[in-house]
Homo-oligomer: A and B are copies of this chain.
Amino acid sequence: MPLTSPTRERLTAGIARLVQAGRYVSSRAADSLYGDLPSFGWALLVPLERDGEQRCSALALQSGVDVSVASRQVTALERSGLVERRPDPHDGRASLIRLSAAGAAALAQTRALRAEWAGEALADWDEDDACLLSELIERLTDDLDRAAPPAVRTAS
């Protein structure tokens, strides 16, 4: 128990506020660029970029959503040309999903847009603080990810 109780509460309260603010921003970013596709689909693109080609169920697991949801999202993303799908050579039931060039570009574009907005909001920040915050947030998220999975586990 290295953290005092008030600090933990303060930190979680801060995170909660940030999550709320970020939710708004990210939803906005998505439909300002590609309003015609399900906004949540972006969550699938990230693991695709990070881990490369993989199957639908793996995507669902990583995003913490039901397989059916992932399936629909993938269909939509495929229609939009952001991902490509090919049958798994080793398993006729499965498909492998891959980020297309357009998908990678769209992802980069979204990031750029977000960064631009952030630049406006953080006009009076200096580089050191931003770097420090980045580091701390990355560390925090890593720890959160590590602690969360047990709950994500479909009880399986």
Contacts and interface: CB of A to CB of B under 8 A. Distances in A.
Interface of A: 1-5, 7-26, 28, 43, 46, 63-64, 111-112, 114-127, 129-134, 136-138, 140-141, 143-148, 151-152, 155
B137 A11 contact: yes
Given A122-B3, A129-B136, A8 B115 contact: yes
A143 B18 CA distance: 11
Given A11-B134, A121-B144, 14 more contacts: A2-B123, A2-B124, A3-B127, A9-B112, A10-B131, A11-B115, A14-B137, A19-B22, A19-B23, A21-B141, A21-B145, A21-B148, A122-B140, A132-B132
B114 A143 contact: no
A120 to B, nearest CB: 6
A137 to B, nearest CB: 4
- Secondary structure class of chain A's binding surface, majority of residues: helix
A127 to B, nearest CB: 6
Contacts of A123: 2
A2 B127 contact: yes
A19 to B, nearest CB: 4
A135 B43 CA distance: 28
